[in-house]
Structure 1
């Protein structure tokens, strides 16, 4: 594999606004949720909870990835075409953990000699304290920063596990749904205020009847009993299995990330 060197961030050139718009590539990092055990596969330890990260990155710009600190909280002066660094409040993430950049329209990542490692689809990119080669990021990849410490029982000691979304258009409601009636946040109801894209539960494939139903902002509907396992996470504590509510989950149909703590949108808000 040819070695790629990220461009130096000495400051971007000053392209015209029109040229800048066409050279942007879009990166979205959403929490990678592992709250359901499939078969006998081991359940991954819980990861850090964070809000979805979105960046528009132009060719030749390096985005730093690392741990949030008081010093990093003092933002550098805004520069045209320079996106903010990607920072997480986790003790297992190094201050300068990795860097992401775009080359020829493709996203790449490199571990910058972090202590606890960068993992791409569960494969570590380099040994502890060593810089890695450049690795290409693909849409749908699972990216992990660090390894949980003390079992990850405390939030600050959890690794950061996320799914990579590249150049995706925002997940809008399906065309068969009434756009004005699709909720801005998930709802549980006995009968739905909107006709979903299917008359069957998307999980068990049985008809949607007058049992508690769960409707997502992406206009997919489920029996609440079918979707409930996705809304909790299991962990072992003192020999017992404990169920915790999750802050969000990925729709089984379209993989849209849904924030369960999102505030309902006002009528005047754009949806």
Structure 2
């Protein structure tokens, strides 16, 4: 990661000003990745630290914590916070370590210096316990998302894709052509990026929540590998395929 900084956590008071969302999603880099639901927190300048650690059944405030059902994590493993326009993380004396982009932040049981984090960074809590085969003995691999909230709403890209898909399913399209439909010269669902063949009528398609389209038989191995988690090969947007439909 970037060189360590001497920035210190803000005082534990209620924050003010605009909110700054942070989202932690599973980093699907291997079949041994621990599955967990993506978590999002909205933080203001001066808000209490967000704690990261192992889930416990004890009652308490969970709005300022990311908790994971992994037995290799410490209860208080790391902390993240927002200060002066940037996000920071530090390890809080965990035994097996916090890793930022595959680099350990501090020696065992030693608190690290604050390190800046940015959109797309990969965080790892601890390492896999080699003596356990159950999922709860896997380390937590996650990716940081900052400033991507625009993707969860209506935008020109997904609106245009929906328009094109409706055109693909219209009777006139089925009767007149088997070529890919490309309504916009800039945004198109014309090709499957996996096989590089056209997306057209009479095909089984998979439409990701980010609105990127693939042939189902092309994307099926990725869907099965980490189900219900899915990371789009094009934009890396994470989605829970079993999430409720609004």
The TM-score bracket by the shorter chain reads: 0.7 to 0.9
Distance of 1:107 and 1:217 partners within structure 2: 27
Q: Give the structure with the higher percent helix.
A: 2
Distance in 2 of aligned mates of 1:220 and 1:164: 21
Gaps of 5+ in 1: 36-44, 183-190, 234-244
- Equivalence map 1:104-253=2 (5 Å): 104-150=84-130, 153-171=133-151, 172=153, 174-178=158-162, 197-209=188-200, 210-233=202-225, 246-253=227-234
Q: Which residue of 1 aligns with 2:14?
A: 12
Aligned length: 220
Say whether the 8 Å CA contact 2:101–2:121 is kept in structure 1.
yes
Tell me: CA distance 1:151–1:231, structure 2 relative to 1, closer, same or farther (3 Å): farther
Instruction: Please give the TM-score of this superposition, normalised by the length of structure 1.
Output: 0.73
User: Counterparts of 2:100 and 2:82 in 1: how far apart (Å)?
Assistant: 17
The answer to whether the Cα contact below 8 Å between 2:10 and 2:83 also exists between their aligned partners in 1 is: no
Alpha-carbon contact 2:78-2:94 (below 8 Å) kept: yes
Counterpart of 2:60 in structure 1 is 75
String of CA shifts for 1:112-148, please: whole Å, max 9, x gaps: 0001110111111111111111111010001111111
How big is the shift at 1:48?
Answer: 1.6
In structure 2, the CA distance between the partners of 1:221 and 1:118, relative to structure 1 (3 Å rule), is same
SS of the counterpart of 1:177?
helix
Gaps of 5+ in 2: 167-177
TM normalised by structure 2 equals 0.80
Q: Equivalents in 2 of 1:252, 1:151: separation in Å?
A: 33
